Amino acid sequence: VQLQASGGGLVQPGGSLRLSCSASGRYLDYSTIGWFRQAPGKEREAVSARYRSSTRTFYSNSVKGRFTISRGNADNTFFLQMNNLKPEDSAVYYCAASRYSLITSSWAQRGQYDYWGQGTLVTVSS
């Protein structure tokens, strides 16, 4: 599975961005899509995840109520809508895919994901 993330950019505090993640490959054997982010000098952290084929979603406390993960009309396209952005949201954002349907205790663990895309940079600054 190859993952392609896009949609990053520069936005002012309070603004919005929508990130996209497209999955491709001969065998699309994944069940969970996740978004992670990594700011300079910090560990990569989980932001959100959802099941490929259902509406089950997960969010970190830092983004709950501001970010929304969704699936596009095309089966293998996913979005992360980010509203009310804050400077602390600035990071490189990565999409990842797991072969398993992750659960509350596992969705935020990097090691649970089998495939990773390249990152897209989000900068929130005035």
pLDDT in tens, 81-112: 999 999 999 999 999 999 999 988 899 999 99
pLDDT at 75 over 80: no
pLDDT at residue 110 in the model: 96
Q: Are 47 and 67 in contact (CB under 8 A)?
A: yes
CA diameter of the chain: 43
Average pLDDT over residues 16-20: 98
Tell me: pLDDT of 74 over 90: no
Task: Report the chain's mean pLDDT, rounded to a whole number.
Answer: 95
pLDDT in tens, 38-57: 999 999 999 999 999 888 99
DSSP for 73-100, please give it: SSTTEEEEEE-S--GGG-EEEEEEEESS
